[in-house]
Amino acid sequence: MVENAAGQSPFTDDPRRHKIVEGQFSLPAGARHTHLLPDQRTARVLVDAFFINTHGLLQVFERHKFLEKLETCYSDPLSTEPSWLCILNLVFAIGLTMATPLSGSSEALIIDKLRSEHLDRAEVFYLNAKSLNDPMTGFEDQDFWSVQALLLMSVYMLAKSKRNTAFALLGMAARSAQALGLHREETLVIFGPEEQKARKNLWRSLFVIDRLLACLLGRPTAISESDCSGDNLRPAEAAAEASNLKANFSETGAFALEAAVRSCSAIGLILKKVYQQRKISTRLAQEIADISGPDLYSLGGQSKPPSLSNVFDLSGLDTTRVPSLYSEESGTDEQIDFDALWAWPSNTPAVGSPRNPGDAAAIGLPSTQGMSDNSVPLFSVVSHAGD
């Protein structure tokens, strides 16, 4: 495709273009695994960075319980299990990679010191985790922690721009989770309420990353919503009503994860019914547009916090991006031909917007203010007599 549009180049003629080419992590010459943990203050900074930067996207652990185990780990290290140390090092790796502390703060000094070392300290944490208890080497006796570790490894690889490795690790995590029955409500009856909540939240986190990777890479999803039973993809428990907009970290977790799951469910619907079929009828386009209805923006008559509303707004933009390419009623069922995408010149805008800004509001779509009013739709429209 690139060669047809831009001609031959070293990029199009690369003999490795049909292979997965991603660098492997390894320690520098002379370095070795020490498995030493950072001091407790540094550990807390890295753990906080992990929870802050994955909040609403992942809910692999309950924050307060994780911090309690962290305290126990440092007060009695000899009793700490290798599986926990593996997970802790993965949390350190993700936290260090994603950390964006306030400039000049004590946290920034710690993060800058770790990042200024002669080796990539985040990679060292990752390799330490694999050396302590690699979840990929024991598929015969995997447990709940293995799924947690595989998901964290996938997120870390995604943060390091190793998307193919992240995709493969996520697939392993999803299959292991299905083998453990995390997708079925019937398997939860033998567990207590807290463990049921943890298993549901992990499954929902897997679902979110699965949909995001499928959208990012244009590949099939690993999780099918039709295979899930009960409320496994719904909130693990009813979210408490917010009395005001000043909700704390833990109170926003349920709302944020619910928003992420809804958004990713819409993404999955678009991937399955639109991009896999490569054609979309106006009827289906309106069904997708209706996903972003008024109920997403309020709960019990109360407005959601602004940060959460932004998540729903982004979901609405994504779910209505294709319908917004056309808004004229023609009396016949129109279909957008996705194969026409490749016929447009390279300077064609990536997406189009309604010719009249009022068209979007008239059919209940999010505003396209800020987009060019005369942009050219990317897809051609073909009229058909029937659906």
Q: So where are the chain's domains?
A: 33-134, 137-235+250-276
Q: Which of 58-72, 123-137, 299-313, 347-361 has the lowest mean pLDDT?
A: 347-361
What is the pLDDT at residue 52?
93
- C-alpha distances in Å from residue 224, one per residue of 77, 229, 280: 41, 11, 21
- Confidence band for 281, pLDDT divided at 50, 70 and 90: confident
Are the beta carbons of 162 and 210 closer than 8 angstroms?
Answer: no
The Cα angle at residue 324 between residues 323 and 327, in degrees rounded to 5: 85
Give the separation between CA 305 and CA 151, rounded to whole angstroms.
28
Query: Given a cut of 70, is residue 386 above it in pLDDT?
Result: no
Contacts of 30 (CB under 8 A, 6+ apart): none
What percentage of residues in the chain have a pLDDT greater than 90? 39
Are the beta carbons of 341 and 289 closer than 8 angstroms?
Answer: no
Query: Given a cut of 60, is residue 145 above it in pLDDT?
Result: yes
* Parallel/antiparallel/unpaired status of strands 333-337 and 298-299: unpaired
Pair of tokens at residue 62: 């309950």
Q: Count CB neighbours of 316 within 10 A.
A: 21
What is the pLDDT at residue 247?
59
Q: Count CB neighbours of 80 within 10 A.
A: 15
Q: How do residues 266-275 score in pLDDT, each as one tens digit?
A: 888 888 888 7
The mean pLDDT value of the chain amounts to 76
Residue 283 CA from chain centroid, whole number: 29
What is the pLDDT at residue 103?
93
What is the pLDDT at residue 21?
74
Q: What secondary structure does DSSP assign to 263-322, as a single string?
A: HHHHHHHHIIIIITTSEEEHHHHHHHHTTS-GGGGEETTEEPPHHHHHHHHHHHHHHTTT
DSSP H/E element including 335: strand 333-337
Composition of the chain by helix, strand, coil, percent to 5 = 55, 5, 40
Q: Which of 3-12, 15-24, 145-154, 193-202 has the lowest mean pLDDT?
A: 15-24
Give the separation between CA 251 and CA 242, rounded to whole angstroms.
8
Are the beta carbons of 256 and 310 closer than 8 angstroms?
Answer: no
Q: Which of 46-55, 62-71, 366-375 has the lowest mean pLDDT?
A: 366-375
Please give the residue that has the higher pLDDT: either 105 or 234. Answer: 105
Q: How do residues 16-38 score in pLDDT, each as one tens digit?
A: 777 777 777 776 666 666 788 99
Pair of tokens at residue 366: 């999010």
Query: Given a cut of 80, is residue 321 above it in pLDDT?
Result: no
Give the separation between CA 60 and CA 93, rounded to whole angstroms.
15
What number is the average pLDDT over the span 181-190? 88
Buried b (16+ CB within 10 A) or exposed e, 340-361: eeeeeeeeeeebbbbeeeebbe
- C-alpha distances in Å from residue 255, one per residue of 201, 210, 233, 251: 12, 20, 13, 8
